[in-house]
Homo-oligomer: A and B are copies of this chain.
Amino acid sequence: MTLKCDLQYGRGNAGYKLSRVGVRGVRKPVLVQRQGINNTLNNILNCSIDIFVDLPAEQKGSHMSRNVEVLNEVVEESVSHPITGLEDMAADMCRRLLVHHEYAQTADVTIIAEYFRNSRTPLGRDTYEMYNLMAGGHIERDGALTKKIGVEVVGMTACPCGQQTVTEMLEYPEGLTVMTHNQRNVCTLTLEFPEDISIEADDLIDVVEASFSSSTYELLKRPDEGQVIINAHRNPKFVEDVVRSALENLVARFPDLPDEVYVDVASESEESIHKHNAFAEREGFLGELRGENQ
């Protein structure tokens, strides 16, 4: 018996085009070419994946199981040929989606995953830190394919204004590094760019980590803890400053990237003195950014 539900190809109850139709939150481990915990070349990233195509007005439904089939194809091939980056995997999936959904004009893939890598404390101790990666792809039939890569990094901010206020209130002498409120900060940096460009997530993590008052670490023995506190207080930053430092580091790190790369940097401070958060964000083309800060 060949069972075939042809309902999807029928005309629906209302002939509106749909911008995106698909599946969300498919969990899948993926083998990537990246240093793993056992010092092998390849590492496993546990991904959560969203996959969509658009749908023309005259078709009732999208074939959602094809999205999962495309995902599985790509992931299975990763076992013999580990993928070079999550954004490349997203791009690969976008292309195949347009083949499997012959009626679709666009395809969108978004992938998020936890990622671990080595770091080093101020006094030189090795640590292993956690980051979140975001990758994506968007394709237009007869059009270009754009890729996206983003990182989410947790760091620390110490407030410059609190420091100045306390200095005045307690009439501290000039030059003393003064207490202030400090807190956990979550900063994301996302780039969107044409398919032929390659950008390393590790470089983006570096750009963001250098933008906080201080990085944070899983393990700090006493002198390292003191050093982190001192470093952060000698480098006080608003959320605005974190975003701008990330922009500055980004511009300096990637002189060869084209102007049309789209940049989004957001920093959120889980304020220790408030129950709510402070937030700053900049979106814009790399070309604009290059023109601004000269």
Give the complex CA separation of A3 and B26 in angstroms: 41
Distance of A65 Cα from B273 Cα, bound (Å): 12
Q: Is A259 on the interface with B (CB-CB < 8 A)?
A: no
Asked if A161 meets B12 with Cβ closer than 8 Å, knowing A39-B79, A218-B274, the reply is: no
**What residues on B are CB-neighbors of A216 within 8 Å?**
271-275
Within the complex, the shortest CB–CB distance from A80 to chain B, in Å, comes to 9
Main secondary structure of the interface of A (DSSP, over half): mixed
| Inter-subunit contact B279/A222 (CB<8 Å) | no
Within 8 A of B (CB), among A143-186: 154, 156, 160-162, 164-166, 168-170, 177-184
Counted per complex, copies of this chain come to 4
Are A57's CB and B222's CB within 8 A?
Answer: no
What's the nearest-Cβ distance from chain B to residue A110, in Å?
Answer: 11
Compute how far the CA of A171 lies from the CA of B289 in the bound complex, rounded to whole angstroms: 43
- Residue A280, interface by CB 8 Å: yes
Q: Per a CB cutoff under 8 Å, which of B20, B38, B227, B245 touches A169?
A: B227
B289 and A16 contacting across the interface, CB-CB below 8 Å: yes
Stretch from A28-36, A86-94, A96-104 that touches the partner:
A28-36
**Contact size class for A?**
35 or more
The minimal Cβ–Cβ distance linking A42 to chain B, given in whole angstroms, is: 8
Which of the 9-residue segments A190-198, A202-210, A236-244 touches chain B? Answer: A236-244
Contacting pair A226 B3 (CB below 8 A):
yes
Contacts A44-B36, A218-B68 given; does A240 touch B18 at CB 8 Å: yes
B280 close to A18 (CB less than 8 A): yes
**Docked-complex contact B12 and A240, CB < 8 angstroms:** yes
Q: Point out the residue from B24, B26, B219 that lies within 8 Å of A72, measured CB to CB.
A: B219
Q: CA–CA, A289 to B169, complex, Å?
A: 40
Q: Across the interface, do A277 and B181 meet the contact criterion of CB distance under 8 Å?
A: no
* A15 located at the interface, meaning its Cβ lies under 8 Å from any Cβ of chain B in the complex: yes
A166, A169, A268, A272 interface centre (most CB from chain B within 10 Å): A272
A68: min CB distance to chain B, Å: 4
Q: Let me know if A285 is at the binding interface, CB within 8 A.
A: no
Cα distance A19–B289 in the bound complex, in angstroms: 12
- Structural contact, A3 and B36, CB atoms closer than 8 A: no
List chain A positions with a Cβ less than 8 A from chain B.
1, 3-5, 7-8, 12-31, 36-39, 42-44, 46, 50, 52, 55, 57, 60-62, 64-65, 68-69, 72, 75, 79, 114, 116, 128-130, 154, 156, 160-162, 164-166, 168-170, 177-184, 214, 216-223, 225-230, 232-233, 238-241, 243-245, 247-248, 268, 270-284, 289, 292-293
Further pairs besides A31-B37, A55-B280: 17, Cβ < 8 Å: A3-B168, A13-B248, A16-B248, A18-B243, A18-B280, A18-B282, A19-B284, A23-B278, A37-B79, A72-B128, A154-B275, A165-B225, A166-B229, A169-B227, A214-B273, A217-B273, A218-B275
